[in-house]
Amino acid sequence: MSNDPYALAATAAAALKSTAGVESFDVALVMGSGWVPAADAIGTTVAEIPVTDLPGFAPPAVAGHAGRIRAVTTASGRNVLIFLGRTHLYEGLGVEPVVHGVRTAIAAGVSTVVLTNAAGGLRPEHQKVGEPVLISDHINLTGAHPLTGARFVDMTDTYTPRLRDLAREVDPSLAEGVYVAFRGPTYETPAEVRMSRILGGDMVGMSTVLEAIAAREGGAEVLGLSLVTNPGAGLVGEPLNHQEVLEVGRATAARMGVLLANVVDKL
Ligand code: 8IG
């Protein structure tokens, strides 16, 4: 097996296309914590493959992250890859497994990558738990980066304005915000939450930014959506817990599914 991550992604993409019997894919959706139940609304399942059947993917490590890739055809005839779960930097496997799904999707033909996550809200005064927020930009505080060498990729419009406009056509109530990514796996301290607000952040999470960078490097457009499942640590009294994240996901799955299906239809 090659130790070139792009060659590994090309190998995984070839296996994925032949297993699914699909010649090329158009769109990839990465379903974060809380978003997996929304996947059923996107279209008709053509195939579902455990990630571990393909080269380069780490087995799932988090409850609510199923570790499967679903190939779906939408009503409008688009071929969609849905990643039911993702690999996180905090799993300790390094940055390459984190972005392997996005690179595989791009190698399989994808030109639009929709990244979803569950996140802490830094603006509880106007972010309700269970509300989706469009990611307008990000701040990468993970201390990691998927690119090495002189790869001076422009990051001005990482979260493509055209796709955000389109998402707002589907749901005019969508707010936008800046996603601040930490490595995790701990949630932030209250001081780190205050810092993130001062830096201009609106949500905090442990995913998405490295995948967005890899997608931009690969020439794909990115749409990002955070499901706010808790206020950032210290902003309200309660300590944070992962079960609540999954419950918010289950409670909002229908709305998130309709939102994603309608967005994908308009792409
Ligand atoms: I859900 O408050 C979820 N994921 N870093 N902070 C970070 N990640 C999160 C949070 C949070 N809530």
Please report which confidence band the pLDDT of residue 1 belongs to, taking 50, 70 and 90 as the band edges: very low
**Residue range 70-92: average pLDDT?**
95
Is 118 catalytic? The answer is yes
Out of 12, 13, 28, 65, the active site residue is 65
Q: To 5 degrees, how large is the angle CA 232–CA 237–CA 242?
A: 55
Out of 33, 117, 196, 226, the active site residue is 33
**If we measure between CA atoms, which residue out of 53, 62, 57, 109 comes closest to residue 81?**
109
pLDDT at position 2 is 53
Q: Give residue ranges with CB within 6 A of ligand 1.
A: 33, 118-120, 182, 184, 187-188, 204-206, 229-230, 232, 240, 245
State which of 206, 228, 241, 256 you would mutate to test the pocket of ligand 1, scoring each by most atoms of that ligand within 8 A of its C-beta: 206
For the entire predicted model, the pTM comes to 0.95
136-172 confidence digits (pLDDT tens): 999 999 999 999 999 999 999 999 999 999 999 999 9
pLDDT at position 63 is 62
State which of 89, 179, 188 you would mutate to test the pocket of ligand 1, scoring each by most atoms of that ligand within 8 A of its C-beta: 188
Pairing mode, strands 203-205 and 68-73: unpaired
CA distance 183 to 97: 14
Amino acid (one-letter) located at 237? G
102-147 confidence digits (pLDDT tens): 999 999 999 999 999 999 999 999 888 899 999 999 999 999 999 9
